[in-house]
Amino acid sequence: MATEVQQLSPEDPTDTVDADQRRIYFGYYIVGAALAAQFIAIGRQSSVSGVFFDPMADALG
């Protein structure tokens, strides 16, 4: 993976890609999706565990 700016034509070394034309790294989409899934999972776990807490506390003393 090169971090340098790509050259569009080999004849003209000044013809380069602007920073605005660069695409976002695909791995960032995967990291963002995993982060969102983790937040959803933690939120669901917190709300579900509250439903079972009182009956378990009564059963176990």
Q: At residue 13, does pLDDT exceed 80?
A: no
pLDDT-derived band at 16 (thresholds 50, 70, 90) equals low
List, for residues 17-61, the tens digit of each pLDDT value: 666 677 889 999 999 999 999 999 888 777 777 778 888 888 987
Better-scored residue on pLDDT, 43 or 7: 43
Domain ranges across the chain: 27-60
The Cα–Cα gap between 25 and 57 comes to: 48
Assess whether pLDDT exceeds 60 at residue 1.
no
Measured CA angle at 42 (ends 36, 46), to 5 deg = 150
Quote the CA–CA distance of 3 and 25 in Å, as a whole number.
Answer: 11
Quote the tokens at residue 27: 């791995």
| Helix residue spans in the chain (DSSP H) | 26-60
Q: ∠2-33-46 over CA atoms, to 5°?
A: 145
